[in-house]
Structure 1
Amino acid sequence: MNLFSEFIQNVHFTGDPIFDSYHFLRNNQLPLVADHSRRVSEEANRLARVFGTGEKKAEIAGALHDISAVIPNNQRLSVARELTIDVLEEEAAFPMILHQKISKVMARDLFHVTDLEILNAIECHTTLRSHPSVLDLIVFVADKIEWDQQGIPPYLDELKQQLQSSLEAGAYAYIHYLWKRKDKLKVVHPWLAEAYFENVRR
């Protein structure tokens, strides 16, 4: 908790992680991340209804997936190590991607989320992983639909088209889009590679 104390000084926690995470991000001068997270939470709820799984879990995971944005990029590696997070070689080389693992810890320690399904979905929302749960896929897809950059995502039409077939097809539409451009990525995260090859073998 001490590691995050500077971020909670002016935050009143109500016990509602969706409400609290939004105001936590805004109080820490991250309104764009707060708005992105709200949209991801809403999209995750919608996808959960479509694909018949826990809507509240999806909302919470979506709301908290980028909660570690309060930690600057150049501090993420040291923070991850202080939190005793298992840091992969690719994450050490490109610490930005550590935010998914740090967000999992913050969701647990600051927002008191104990549901492992929610925490695991937060942990892989950027890269996915092999053998993903339905909630993993929902949060991953919601984050890609409601991306955090300007304009319309270049992969969006294909993702939505594939989503009509299945949740997995929608998720892997994005992964295949990324894989075709992997030479331009800073690193290829092992979890992403595992998810890609698992899908190819199907």
Structure 2
Amino acid sequence: MTDKKVIGKYKAYLKENLSKKRYNHSVNVANAAVALAKRYGADEDKAYVAGLLHDTAKELPAQEQLAIVERSPLNVCDIEKKTTPLFHAVAGAELIQTLFGITDPEIIDAVRYHTVACGNMAKLSQIVYLADLISADREYKDVNKMRKYAEKSLEKAMFEALKFSIKDSADKGNTIPVSTLEAYNDFAAAAAKRR
């Protein structure tokens, strides 16, 4: 397990910089990520850390998040730079490096892609993406269905989660980042092969 002192440092930062509700969500996502990592053979420590820290930048002022996004060397599309709710994932991936010295590319990517997903998505990134959707505090209409998918198959759950996300964005008239469509296409192709 990751050093308890290190985890304590992460939690202390989050408690100070997130609302109680967002902090509790972060802990719930960490726990859901560990459960998925156990089920699907991923690194449980990395899953916990990435799940815990996925919303590190969520409650920073939008302008501050955007400033971090704009100077980020990570691959960020124009849609993400124009969509305020997407800033926090890139900003968070940057912050965990500067604040906590995290250099593990799997953890950085899991935080980076927890909202938009990406093509050729690594298992840890899939786990954190799903953990964020199915954590204990989530209450949207199809959450129980999504939890069942996550228990049965990581691939199926990702495909269903991406369909849900894209449909929700389209219904609201929102733009959809290219990386989300690339992720969807990957999982759609995998689903077609299973048929």
The TM-score bracket by the shorter chain reads: 0.7 to 0.9
Of 19, 40, 52 in structure 2, the residue corresponding to residue 51 of structure 1 is 40
1:165 aligned to 2:165? no
- CA apart distance, 1:83: 4.2
- CA apart distance, 1:185: 4.7
State the Cα RMSD in Å: 2.2
Match of 1:142 in 2: 131
Match of 2:163 in 1: 176
Residue deviations 1:57-101 (CA, integer Å, cap 9, x gap)? 100000111101242123322232244555422122213202111
Could you tell me the TM-score, scaled by structure 2's length? 0.85
| Structure number with higher relative contact order (C-alpha < 8 Å, ≥ 6 residues apart) | 2
Structure that is richer in helix per residue: 2
Change (3 A) 1:15 1:72: farther
Match of 1:130 in 2: 119
Match of 1:109 in 2: 98
1:190 aligned to 2:178? yes
Distance 2:89 2:6 in 1: 17
Change (3 A) 1:147 1:140: farther
Change (3 A) 1:15 1:185: farther
AA aligned opposite 1:176: K
Match of 1:88 in 2: 77
Change (3 A) 1:17 1:66: farther
Change (3 A) 1:51 1:86: closer
- CA apart distance, 1:130: 1.0
- Contact 1:77/1:92, CA 8 A, preserved across alignment: yes
Identity of aligned residues (%): 25
Match of 2:193 in 1: none
AA aligned opposite 2:175: V
Distance 1:15 1:102 in 2: 25
- Contact 1:147/1:153, CA 8 A, preserved across alignment: no
Distance 2:142 2:150 in 1: 12
Count of aligned residue pairs for this structure pair: 187
- Contact 1:26/1:34, CA 8 A, preserved across alignment: yes
Distance 1:91 1:117 in 2: 20
- Contact 1:76/1:96, CA 8 A, preserved across alignment: no
Structure 1 segments unaligned to the other structure (5+ residues) = 1-13
Match of 1:8 in 2: none
- CA apart distance, 1:200: 2.0
- Contact 2:34/2:44, CA 8 A, preserved across alignment: yes
Of 141, 162, 176 in structure 2, the residue corresponding to residue 154 of structure 1 is 141
Distance 1:195 1:29 in 2: 29
Could you tell me the TM-score, scaled by structure 1's length? 0.83
Change (3 A) 1:100 1:17: farther
